[in-house]
Amino acid sequence: MWPMDELRSCPRCRAEIVPVPVVYGLPTHEAWLEAQSGRIRLGGCVIGDESPDYACPACDALLPWVNPDRPLRAPVA
C-alpha cells in the first residue's frame, strides 16, 4: 500500500489530497466517529471487485486507485 500521507491529485476536483480509505460492512460506533471526522468513508454493505478502496476528502469522489494489499473479493450472490 502506498503511504497514506502521500499527496495525490484527485481526478475529479483536481485538489491535492491524501485519499481516505473506504470501509465496507456494518460500521461500529468507532467507524461512525472516524467517518464523521473525515478519516474514513463508509462504503456500505455490498462489496465487489469493482468497489473502490479510496475516496477524495475534498469532493467525496470515489477514486480509481487500488490498495494492492487488499484481499481478493468474491462477488455477492
In the structure, what pLDDT confidence band is assigned to residue 64 with cuts at 50, 70 and 90? confident
Question: Rounded to two decimals, what is the model's pTM?
Answer: 0.78
Residues of 27-50 as b/e, b for ≥16 C-beta within 10 angstroms? Answer: beeeeeebbeeeebbbbeeeeeee
Read off the pLDDT of residues 4-63 as tens digits, 9 standing for 90 and up.
678 889 999 999 999 999 999 999 999 999 999 999 999 998 888 788 999 999 999 998
Any idea which residue has 475516496 for its cell?
55
CA distances from residue 55 to 36, 65, 77 in whole angstroms, order as listed: 14, 9, 25
Number of Cβ within a 10 Å radius of residue 19: 22
